[in-house]
Amino acid sequence: QVWDSGGCSHSVDLTALGKHGEVYTEGPFACLAWSHSETRLLYVAEKSRPKRQPPFPWDVPGAAWPAAQDEDEEVVDRSVPQGKQFVYHEDWGEALSTRSEPVLCILDLEGLSLSVLEGVPEQLSPGQALWSPDDHGVVFVGWWHKPFRLGLNACSNRRSEIFHLDLASGCCELLSAENGSACSPRLSPDGQRLLYLEGVVGGPHRQCLRLRMLTWQTRQTVTVLDVVQEPTEAFAGLYAEVLPPRCWAADSRRAVLGTPQRSRTDLLLVDTEAATVTNLTAGSPEGCWELLTLQWDLLVATCSAPHHPPSLVVAVLPPAGQELSLDWLPVEDTPTVPGVTWKTLTVQPPCSGQGPTAQDTQAFEALLLSPSDGTPPHPLIVCPHGGPHAVFDARWRPSMAALCRLGFAVLLVNYRGSLGFGQASISSLLSRVGEQDVADTQLAVEQALHREPLDLHRLALLAGSHGAFIALHLLTREPKRYQACALRSPVSNLPMLLGTSDIPDWRYTSLGLPYSFERVPRAEEVATMLLRSPIAQAAQVQTPVLLCVGARDRRVSPMQALELYRVLRARRVPTRLLWYPEGGHALAGVETEADVFKNCAHWLLQHL
């Protein structure tokens, strides 16, 4: 639907027109962009594909299909040709199982027509499209899908480049560097500059990114902000998956974006000409800021903290050089949740003596949420994050605040390898998975127990995905230390993931092994993976374990949890498995999230 001051001016059933399949309304490919004349809409949809005929109500061999109601009406056969009904079609993996072949589409509101654009190279899947300054072409991100698709969700290391498609000639021009990982193009208000993010193909699945800028007329590209190896107080690097849809200031020189900075997510103002960064939210009591939009120099954002649900705030961007005078005004303020306090703990690893690199002793952080009422010492729930290249920033998390209200302290660990602490920290985890991350988590627990009023006899683990991998390792190494463990979508058997995960490349990269599309594992590599897997030491586990998995998980097969469940049950370890038939890796959705939390909370209360 299109609305204007007079009400609804257009209502179009896009899929019913038969030009394409489902419209992409979310995810990495999705976009919805007005032309500058506001007469055409640019969006992405699934390529139209012949559909299998549904079974006839009376399943009789040789039965005929019902004829069209109007005998004069021409019947168009859109069924799949015989012999091709069961051809396999790749998709883009976890959370993108309905995304296979995206196409660029234009809805012309004046001409009342819908067209699917041609000219996109066949090896590319297009998305994140916007109009060129003159409306004569479109700019888009093209993800390479040859020789086959690797999972895209939470992976900024896939080959993708930015292109310009001329609508008249059909000529497709490469704008970004070849063989890079570029995304999130944003055109300045004056149409002269194109800002975008760029990373490296391969390596860690998330990484510190460059901020690049292309001058539209000359096609010259410069690096505005480079990869940060070691963070400074002023700037720790860019780790955002996307730039805000509207991030440019009215002067077409400055831009605002949000990114993790250690255990916070802050708003940064970037001067693209001077290549300087100003942190607009450093030192604020809220630990997570997200820019919703920036229009006519009016900033609209949300801010939250572990004890403070998101508030909607606005501010006017001051002139260049005066940005630190920014004054945020609440539009919708939310009260602080009583009974919850939080702090950031800095954890310093001991000198291992195994290597001269700074990453061997680089400090990392953990967030500690504690009940403000009740009598200490409090039982402690330890939560290493998944990824592993992710971060627990100091945002509002309802489940963690609820655990505090139930009387638990919660420790969110950002071990070395987390986002927000420099690229060197991210790279330090490669080949040390199952070792450095596990040791860091345990060190964070020891230092928290030493510094804070916590009950060292009542400890539990709560984690998902790679965080669950870390938790299982802790159970095998200190069988009597933890009294309970609740895991979501756990990784327990690394070699099993080679043939079942949408990101098989990560199994090699995480252990410091090279990856190529034609890669087949050698026996010694499989053995290395198994030795790093918690399942190999499952006989050491004594702690009661709750497992929560989604049957539709494409990243970590739920069969991993089933294998672990059987091993633990056979050894008479108290174990419970929750199997969500429609759940994916994140176990998302209101009903699923609520059920997972309720069961995890009951499990922790029961055993602590």
Which residues are the active-site residues?
A: 465, 553, 585
Please give the span between the terminal C-alpha atoms of the chain, in angstroms, as a whole number. 53
55 cis-preceded (ω within 30 degrees of 0): no
Q: To 10 degrees, what angle do helices 436-451 and 466-477 make?
A: 70
For residue 119, what are its two tokens? 């000219």
**What is each CA distance from 118 to 49, 103, 105, 113, 447, in whole angstroms?**
16, 9, 9, 15, 59
Give residues with Cβ within 8 angstroms of 472, minimum separation 6.
Answer: 485, 487, 490, 492, 534, 541, 564
> What residues form DSSP beta bridges with 259?
266
Contact 19, 105 (CB under 8 A): yes
For residue 452, what are its two tokens? 């804070």
Contact 511, 581 (CB under 8 A): no
**What is each CA distance from 571 to 473, 493, 540, 564, in whole angstroms?**
17, 18, 10, 11
Burial degree of 586 (CB within 10 A; 0-12, 13-18, 19+): buried
Burial degree of 315 (CB within 10 A; 0-12, 13-18, 19+): middle
Neighbours of 523 (CB within 10 A): 7
Length of the chain: 608
Token pair 């509002």 is at which residue?
A: 396
β-strands 298-305, 288-295 pairing? antiparallel
> Closest by alpha carbon to 425, among 193, 236, 603, 144?
236
- Alpha carbon distance 379, 376 (integer Å): 8
Phi, psi of 7 (to 5 degrees): 115, -155
**What is each CA distance from 574 to 176, 475, 486, 533, 547, in whole angstroms?**
54, 13, 12, 21, 11
Contact 176, 182 (CB under 8 A): yes
- Alpha carbon distance 486, 549 (integer Å): 11
Task: Fill in the amino acid letter for 99.
Answer: R
